[in-house]
Amino acid sequence: MTLQNSFLRIVFLSLLFALGSVANAQYKIDLQVNGLRDSSIIFGYYFGEGRYVQDTAKLDAKGHATFKRDSSLAKGLYLFLLPSGESLDLLIGDQQKFTFSVDMADLRNTQKVEGASLSQAFLDFQTFMGRMQQKGEKVRKEDSIVRALPADDPTAEKRREEIRDKYKELDVEVKNYHKTLLEKHGNDVLGEFVRATIPIALPDFQPAPTVKNVDSARWMWSYTYNSEHYLDNINLASSSLLRTPLVLPKVNHFLDKMILQIPDTLNKYCDKILERAYLNTETFRFWTSYLLNKYQSSEIIGMDAVFVHIAEKYYLAGRTPWVDEEFLTKLKDRVAHIKPNLLWAVAPNFKVETLNAQSFELAKDKADATVLVFWEPSCSHCKVAIPKIDSIARKYDPKRLHVIGFMTTGDGPEWQKYVFEHKLEWWINVWDPYRKTGFHDNYDIYSTPVIYVLDKNHKIVIKRIGVESLAAILDDLLKK
């Protein structure tokens, strides 16, 4: 992890302790584990994609332990971790003084809560969904058998229809259960949890008769509908849902898989997420911090544009009052280093001196494509990369492709020696020994080598790539 990235992570991780604080009250959970005694039990909670320790206690000789504190638990999904490594999930709402019992002989079917109706309803929901999964697996096995039947089997169509009917029956049973449960728990944490597990239903779509490419039309319609509605069933302003393993994976799946990985598109949907989270200070704080961290550390080229968007629209615009001035100063500096060299921006101009003591200005150089590499002769990684870049670049017409080797340090003799020894005189070899151009800031150079590829208008096509990707990029750019 670079120093530029690490300071942002610290702010996000601190949320684990800041989010969900509640007024003084009390929780008391009596745990009874039949068939287990004199054993330590961990009481934990879910947060985001992780699990964290809330408390510990030891079962006595009768399998009993008590967890209690003079403060309330934040509503959400909790767990009891047994010595065997198995865990028992329990959703906790406002009722926080109850008994939870289970038998080791049958962990899944003997869980019971007394004194907290919502927590018991959650266990009932788990039991029901487990039963539906078993039925579904049985139907899937039957389906695979039917699919293997010969095409001329006279019973095949009838059996396929029977399978479809069974799937429909299961679907109706699940939907009816959801409907009944939500009628009772629609406004509490259980209702939010159950609703978040329900996938959105795609309405029927019939392309117009004039549409020639029906498959393409269906894909576009499906993509557009999912883009707008995929997260409809998740209350992004619920701090309770953050304490479940449901929300963060689904939001990440939406951002990473369901929409095009284009900065402008991602900016739009990150804004939609933050608009919905803004209704709750805690969730807005979490999602702004999480999304900022997600895109500042993304390994996908170009996602730093999303990082800049979130930083400028929310943090630097004064919409995150919980962040101190020191952090904002560092963030502002980081944005200043990234923004000039975002993809498809015109590369920052520089006027420097060449190895032959001639003047060179990027804006006046003309080529169909330009490889701009920042390097230094003493860098071990550069010693590997520079010969490879040279070997790749020599395959192209030197009138169409220019290679600018920008030496970042001030050791002129060593630089000159390396260029001559490796026959790089055909490159445009430049340097700025006194750093008057600000290239370190404009191109975000904090290590070497760093490769940029520019088009004929000096727009940044791609940046910070490995040498192994260079040939394919140049092929595509120069062919166009």
Model pLDDT, residue 1: 35
Strand order in the sheet with 97-103: 64-69, 27-34, 97-103, 112-114
CB proximity list for 259: less than 8 A, separation 6 or greater: 223, 227, 265, 266, 269
Model pLDDT, residue 17: 44
CA distance 143 to 161: 10
Model pLDDT, residue 479: 85
Cis peptide before 449 (omega within 30 of 0): yes
What string of H, E and C letters represents the secondary structure of 223-274?
HHHHHHHCCCCCCCCCHHHHCCCCHHHHHHHHHHHHCCCCHHHHHHHHHHHH
Whole-number Cα distances in Å, 343 to 262, 264, 302, 313 = 11, 12, 6, 19
Model pLDDT, residue 11: 46
Model pLDDT, residue 25: 64
> Is the pTM here over 0.85, yes or no?
yes
The secondary element (H helix, E strand) that includes residue 9 is helix 3-13
Model pLDDT, residue 480: 56
Are 311 and 27 contacting, i.e. CB atoms less than 8 angstroms apart? no
Model pLDDT, residue 374: 98
CA distance 246 to 264: 26
Tell how strand 64-69 and strand 27-34 pair up. Answer: antiparallel
3-state secondary structure at position 183: helix
Upper half-sphere CA count for residue 14 (Cβ side, 13 Å): 10
Model pLDDT, residue 24: 54
Are 407 and 429 contacting, i.e. CB atoms less than 8 angstroms apart? yes
Residue 66 sits at φ, ψ, to 5 deg, of: -125, 130
Q: Which two tokens stand for residue 449?
A: 């080598």
Are 315 and 288 contacting, i.e. CB atoms less than 8 angstroms apart? yes
Sole residue written with tokens 């790089």: 424
Residue numbers of the chain with a pLDDT score lower than 70: 1-25, 480
**DSSP annotation string for 301-359:** TTTHHHHHHHIIIIITTT--TTS-HHHHHHHHHHHHHHGGG-TTSBPPP-EEEETTS-E
Are 353 and 430 contacting, i.e. CB atoms less than 8 angstroms apart? yes
Sole residue written with tokens 């560092």: 330
Task: Report the b/e string of 298-330 with b at 16+ CB within 10 A.
Answer: beeebbbbbbbbbbeebbeeeebeebeeebeee
Model pLDDT, residue 384: 96
Sole residue written with tokens 């904090």: 446
Start-to-end CA distance of the chain, whole Å, equals 36
The secondary element (H helix, E strand) that includes residue 155 is none
Model pLDDT, residue 49: 87
3-state secondary structure at position 69: strand
Torsion of CA 132, 135, 136, 137, to 10 degrees: 120
In tens, the pLDDT along 318-331 reads: 999 999 999 999 99
Model pLDDT, residue 20: 46
Give the start-end residues of each E strand in 104-170.
Answer: 112-114
Q: DSSP label at 459?
A: B
CA distance 308 to 335: 6
3-state secondary structure at position 115: coil
Q: Which two tokens stand for residue 114?
A: 């007394």
CA distance 470 to 388: 10
Q: Which two tokens stand for residue 224?
A: 């557009």
